Structures are given as structure tokens and as C-alpha cells.
Structure 1
Amino acid sequence: MNPTSKKRKRGQEQPTVTISTASTSSPGPLLAIYPAIQPPSSTSFKSYKLKKPRSDSADDIIIAGETEQVEFVTHEEESRKAAEFGCRYIVALHNKRTGTISLLPSSKSPQILQRTVKALKSAQPSDAPTTRQYQQARTALGETFGTKKAKAAIRAQERNKVDVGAMEGVMDYVMEGIDKGAQGLMTTEEAKEAADTNRLIPPFSTSATEPEDIYPLHKIIPETEWKALSLSAFDDTSSDKERIALLPHSRSNWLNAHMHVWGRPDSGKDRKKNLKLLLYISALFAFHNAAGKRDFNADQTRERLATLPSNVVDGLFSRFTEKARDSTSYQATSTTKTLLLTNLFALCLKVDNFATKVETLSHDLSISKDQVNQLFKSLGCKVSKLSDRERAQLGLSDSGDSKFAVLRAPVAFPQLRQKRRN
């Protein structure tokens, strides 16, 4: 506590606080902020009304003052920002004679002042240095004060510069060499066609207007194999359990759920087609399990698929295995495994009315959801959760938490990601 301060004596009269009712024609006291130089206390300021005020208030007033060397004036933009940010104050006036304190009826926003040195008002601003000038100055500074490593980097950069003047005489020869070298390069359309050809998916149509026509059925299952698939054994069954037992692969929730629908004799007009699709998809499930083992045994795989026609089994081996050079043994490579899965998923889409639940297939195939999602995306599907309206349109009863791979026409494949440059 300041020892020279006087304590208020008990019973001393407190100052009276009133709210001023000054007329709005007079702005009254104004607040000012000096961001840099503090003017002398003897500096006088005047207030000016804006010609086109925003409103009838003191906020539309600017103040100005000057000394012998510096001019001070309100910075309208900064003052407006301060007012918009809610920087406002209540001003109180203390009358020493009467001992009263009067509060102004409205709050005040501060005036942000900017200063101008009178001696520099006539000086012309210098032009900003060009990129070349900046680089030369930076190089000179590095050569003078830089470390050995910095100086070595500067010299290496100077060596790598191209002398444009020396290139003028040989530019025609350079361009001619570029044109000759570019003759063997593919055009954008040719590159796209080559990329589409090398996709590990079934043959497709980019001009198809219906999802059914994007992946033609007989481009996945040849017509001869399709006709060879027999459903007579299913007609002699009386229960879903018996019908599921006829499949080459029966340990699949996706297959079993669809067999409950399409395996029964009264399933509808699409029963024969969908039942054949389920039979072939079951064969792909079985072939995938055999190919996933460390040692692919062709004889055991054929034995497991013995209920299928021989040309169907031969087709599976020819499309989804490879033979090493000078060898008669079959091998399941990463390429053939990927191609098998995309063929399987394309057929699942046909059975599911082109909206397949990815979680079920991920569980049945014992592969991650991310891998299943990527394979469906490579087929041109969009993998996401469906809205209530979309599920109703597709006839789905699953909850909104499940993700579905949906194929729509025309097909749109994901673009290849370009590597970022370091």
C-alpha cells in the first residue's frame, strides 16, 4: 500500500453516481489508442463527422491531431474492426468541484490512431525487389556469412543453372529430339484403355446404362459352362439343409441366406438363374479356400468339385491358376486370387440386386473388410452406409449401421493416386 495514500475517513461522504443525459448532438469524450508513438500531453485533437455516416452515433466520428513532426488521425478500418469485435467502454466523468461521477448513456468504441511522419510524406516508396535481385542478394549474403555447407550448396546451384542464351542456337534440335522421343508414347485415351485392360476384374462395358449390363454374365461364366450347370439334384430335395449340402462350399452365411430364398421350388421366375449363380459362386468359394492354402493341391480341389461338370472345373483352373514354364502343376498367384475374388463379387452383386453387404463376405472369406471394400471399389462400386430411403428402394431390411457395395451405371472406376513429390 502506498504510505502517502490517504485512507477514507469513516463517515466521509461517498461520491454521487449519475447517468448523464447529454444530447446526442455532442459526441462528448472520445477514447483513443496509440499503437506506436505516444504524443505529448499538450497535443490538441479535433473531431470530425464523416460525410456519409453509417449511423447517427459517435462511431462515425474521426479525430485528428498533430505535433511539429508527426500527424495523428483515426485509422477507420482498424477502428471499425475494434468496434465489431465488441471492444467498447463506458466513460465516466468525475466532477471534482461537486464530487459527482456522471456515466455517459452509451458505450464508446476506441479510436485506433495511425501516425504519419511529416518529413517522409513526400518520399516515394521504393519498388519491391525482383526475384532475380532477391536471389542475387541472398547469394551474396550466403557467400559472405554462410557456413561451408551453405556455400557448397550455393556453388552447386550455380553449376545447375541453365544458360538460356547458350540454348538459343540448339533449341530447335532439342525440340526435334523431344518430338521424336514422344512418338512412341501413348495418348491419354490409349493409356486409359491400357489401364482398363490390365484391371484384375471381369470384362466390362463402360457404355452400359444398366448395372446388369456392366459385367455381362457370359463374360464371367462362359455360355457352355452355364448350360452345363444342372439343377436336377436340387429338385429332389425337400429342405433347405438338403439343398445347402449339395453346394461345393456350404460354410458361408451369405450362401446359406440366399439358398433359403432361391433354393425353394416356389421362389419365383428368377429361381433357375439365381440358383445357378449360387451354385457357381459356391464353387468359387471352394476354389478360393483351396488356393489360399500354402500348397495348392489340384487333385484335392478337383475331388471337392466333383459334383460340378468337368468343363466348369476345367474353366476354373484355366482362369484362376497359372502354370510355371516347363511345368504341368497349377499355381495360385496373387493375381489369380484377386481375379477370382472380383469375379465372385461381381456375381454376388447380380444376386443381391447390385447392393451387397460387405461385412458378411468379409467374414465368410476370412479377409479384412478393408480388402473387401477395395475389391468392390475396383469393380466401380461405391461402399457406404445407405439411407432409409435407399434401403427401401433396394428392398433391404438391414440396419443403417451396415455398409453396402452398390454398383450403378455407367460404371466409374477409382482414379489412380499420384505419388507426391518430395
Structure 2
Amino acid sequence: MGKRKHADAATEGKDKKYTKIKLANVSGETPVLATFPGITPARDIEFTPYKRNYETSEEKANQRVLVADADKVVFQGTNFGASGPHNLNCSYYVGVYSKSKNEVQVVPARLVAMRRHVKASETERVSASKSKLQQRQALGLAFGSRRVKTELRNNERNAVDANKIEDQVTDAMASVERNVASMPTSEQLRKEVAANLPIPVHNVDATTLEEAYDLNSIVTSDELNAIPIKDVFKVTSMEEMQAWLPFGFSKFINNKLYSLISATGKKDRHLARLLVYVSYLMAYYCKVKRNDLTDHERLSKVLKHPPALIIEGLTNRYADGCVLISVFSRSPQMADKILCYMMVLCLMLQDFKVYPDLLATDLSLKASHVTNILRSLGCKIDVCNAEDIIRAGFDPKSKAKKATLVVPLKFPEIKKGGGSRR
């Protein structure tokens, strides 16, 4: 009996060691996986799937259209056709884990590529019944002789209906009044633009520079603590430090970090972690290519093997795609988001004053592009004075610029109308 109990216990232990995976029996609609490239819908938006309501082929029966109607936009996506996902070489499942049974029940899921459509204002159409004269003219134009058709066309071309013109003017004025009443104010537009900017969490009513942007929305404390700064404090030369950093071409990072390492006394480890994280961001922006985003090993190699928490944070914040299927890309909006988050950290690391020309050189970008990014973050752009030129090491004859963060935050105003053409 003792041996049998021991054998049963061993079998039971072996069963608990492995998780069972079962295909769930689902009679209704199966789940839908949706990808949102470059957009983030609100959490409270309700999505409704649609399918064909008649018998058809198995391929068409599996087709779905996913729609959600928001205040100003409509989200719509399909799993078929030109707007659906392409080059899918596998099937997708959604699983639910039962801790008590130690098993996962999976169901097949459809992958839908979502798109955003802005609602356009539509003018109301007023239909009027045709009069007897109009009906006669229509019959004459359809069945009359050539001479009758010519006369009817001439009469129609030369006729002036005062009542019709008055009705059209009234309808036009009413349409203009409706459109003007529904137009947002400049303040509403400013807030809407600020909310849609690819910038970190911010406080437009901040009274101090430290309160303007939330550091935790850029990088969490867990990510910073995961950075292995013990290794960087062991370097003995600038060249050795550049070889260790994921992006060793930035004078902004190199000068600050090496000064911190070579200084005597207690080292500011939090400052060192922030500098190394900016180096990760620069490498992610400049060195990581599109094919690297979907290959975890290649991405880790390009970034010089950072902790897994760093790679996960960079992918979640700055890559378009679906985490479940590990397909990622980088849109122009995401590229600007990387620069915005990076520039906020650079401002924090240098008393909220940076030089766009130096950062543009580090990132191989035009100085005007970096200046526009800093301006969109709420920075004031000025020409460097003599002291700034000496501190930054510019040519005394240069007209370099300086970006200074100003509170309360003021974002670029919306330009009304277009410039005059010459």
C-alpha cells in the first residue's frame, strides 16, 4: 500500500508540474484581436463586430468588420481585403488559465487591423417635389424632337426662379450658422492639440519646472533600477565608457557621464541611470532598424544586451504593432514620440536648458527639426549669448540657439488660414 501511495503522489506531482492546454468548445462568437498602428482608443469605447447574415462560403463566413463610433472619429477594421492584415502565416488563439485545474483553455481568434476615420460635417439635403412644368420639361427632353429639346434647354438656361434663389440663400445661411455654432473655440483646439501631441504626461498648470513633466511616464523606477550601472563605474577612460554605452556617439551623454564617473566622492547613481537610459533611447532611435523590432535577439544585440525590462519598456512605448503576435514597426509619429520623450529627459538633465545644435549633431538630424520638437514641448527658443557659446563650445561667430523650458507650459498656437501667395 505504501508503494502505491508513493506512486500516486509521484503521478499527481508530475501532473501539477505541467499545465494542460485544451481547445475550448465555443458555440458563439470567438474573440477578436485588434491592432491599432499609431493610435490609442479610449478605454470606454465599445467595439461591435459584424458578419454576413446569410449562408456563404467558409472563407466569407469567417470575415468580420469591427466598428466603434466615438465623438469625433470612427474606428473601423477588417480581417480581409486590402485594409486587413497581410502575410499572416499562423493562427491566433486567446487562452484563459484556470489555477485550480492548472490548465489553459484556448479559443481561435481573428486578427483585425483597425483604422481611424475623422468624421466630416455633412450638410442637410432638402428634397423638393417637381412641379408639373418641370415634369413636362423632363418628358420633352426625353421624348421630344430636336427642335423641342433645343427650346427647352434654352428656356431652362435663361429662366430665373426668384423663389428658388431665395430658398437656396436661406438654406445656405442656415447651414453656415449651424457649422459656425459647431466649430470649436481656439481654446478647445489648443487643448485638443496638446492632448494629441506625442509627449509625456504633463501639467499645463505647473508653477515649477520640476512639475511640468512626469518622469514616471517616461521611464519607471523599476526600469532605472534594472540598469547595470556598476559596470559603467568601473571604466577608466572615455573610450572604454563609449564602448560600454549602447550609443557612444553622443557628446551630451559622454561628457556628463564621464564627469560623473571620474569625480571624487559619492556618486549620484540616479543621475547615472538617467544618462544611461537616454543612451538607450538614442540607440533605439538611431541604430534599431525596422527588421530589428520583431527579432528580440537582434534588438538586444544592437542595444548591447540591456535588461529584459528595458527592452519591454521601449517596445511597449515606441513600437506600433501587436504584442501577442510580436509584429512591430515604427511610424513617423512614433519616431517623433521617441524624440519628445528623449528631449524631456535631456531638459531634466541640464537644468531645463539645452542646445538644439548639439543634440542634432548627436542624432544626425537637422537642427531645425530638433528645435521644432523642443518648441512643441513648451520650450522658448533664443539665440545663444556669449556665455552660452563659451559653455557649449560653439564657434564665437555662430548663431546657435538655446531652448529653455518655460512654465506654465505653452504649446505652439494653431495657425489660422494660409500664408499669402506671391
Q: Is 2:369 aligned against 1:357?
A: no
Cα distance, 1:391–1:219 mapped onto 2, change above 3 Å: farther
Which residue of 311, 321, 325 maps to 2:319?
A: 321
Match of 1:286 in 2: 283
Residue 347 of structure 1 is matched in structure 2 by: 345
Opposite residue 281 of structure 1, the aligned amino acid is V
Residue 386 (structure 1) shift: 2.7
- 1:310 Cα deviation from its structure 2 partner: 1.1
Residue by residue over 1:322-372, the C-alpha shift from the partner in whole angstroms, topping out at 9 and shown as x without a partner, is 017996321011011010011111111111111112222111111111111
CA contact (8 A) 1:291 1:332 kept: no
Superposition pairs for residues 70-149 of structure 1, below 5 Å? none
Q: Structure 1 pair 231/196, CA: closer, same or farther in 2 (3 Å)?
A: same
Tell me the TM-score normalized by structure 1. 0.52
For residues 368 and 177 of structure 1, the distance between their equivalents in structure 2, rounded to whole angstroms, comes to 45
Cα distance change on mapping 1:177 and 1:253 into 2, 3 Å: closer
Give CA-to-partner distance per residue, 1:54-76, whole Å, 9 cap, x none: xxxxxxxxxxxxxxxxxxxxxxx
State how far apart, in whole Å, the 1-side matches of 2:229 and 2:356 are.
Answer: 28
Give 1:31's aligned residue: none
Shift, 1:317, TM fit: 0.9
Question: What amino acid does structure 1 have at the position aligned with 2:327?
Answer: S
CA distance in 2: counterparts of 1:182 and 1:222, whole angstroms: 45
Distance 1:261 1:230 in 2: 18
* Contact 1:290/1:301 (8 A) holds in 2: no
How has the CA–CA distance of structure 1 residues 182 and 328 changed in structure 2, closer, same or farther, with 3 Å as cutoff? farther
Percent of pairs with identical residues: 22
Distance across 2 between alignment mates of 1:344 and 1:350: 10
Q: 1:349 to 1:399 in 2, by over 3 A?
A: farther
Q: Deviations over 1:194-219 (max 9, x none)?
A: 11111122221111122222122112
Partner of 2:249: 251
Q: Secondary structure at the match of 1:263?
A: helix
CA contact (8 A) 1:240 1:263 kept: no
Q: Which one of 375, 382, 385 corresponds to residue 383 of structure 2?
A: 385
Aligned residue for 2:188, secondary structure, equals helix
Q: Partner of 1:263 in structure 2? A: 261
Q: 1:406 to 1:223 in 2, by over 3 A?
A: same
Q: CA 1:208–1:325 in 2, change beyond 3 Å: closer, same or farther?
A: closer
Moved over 4 A (4+): 173-185, 291-297, 324-327, 388-392, 395-400
Q: TM-score, normalised by structure 2?
A: 0.52
The aligned amino acid for 2:213 is: Y
Unaligned runs of 5+ in 2: 1-157
Residue 235 of structure 2 aligns to a residue in which SS? coil
Higher relative contact order (CA 8 A, sep 6+): 2
Q: Please say if residues 240 and 259 of structure 1, whose CA atoms lie closer than 8 Å, have aligned partners that are also in contact.
A: no
In structure 2, the residue matched to 1:369 is 367
Q: Distance in 1 between matches of 2:292 and 2:312?
A: 19
Letter in 2 for 1:403: K
- Structure 1 residues 256 and 192 mapped into 2: Cα distance closer, same or farther (>3 Å)? same
The number of aligned residues is 260
Partner amino acid, structure 2, of 1:346: V
Cα deviation, residue 228, structure 1: 2.6
The residue type equivalent to 2:364 in the other structure is: S
Change (3 A) 1:218 1:322: same
Q: Give the structure with higher Rg (CA).
A: 1
Unaligned runs of 5+ in 1: 1-158
Matched, 1:274 2:275: no
What is the identity, as a one-letter code, of the residue corresponding to 1:191? L
Aligned to 2:333: 335
Contact 1:296 1:330 in 2 (8 A): yes
Query: Are the equivalent residues in 2 in contact too, given 1:358–1:405 (CA < 8 A)?
Result: yes
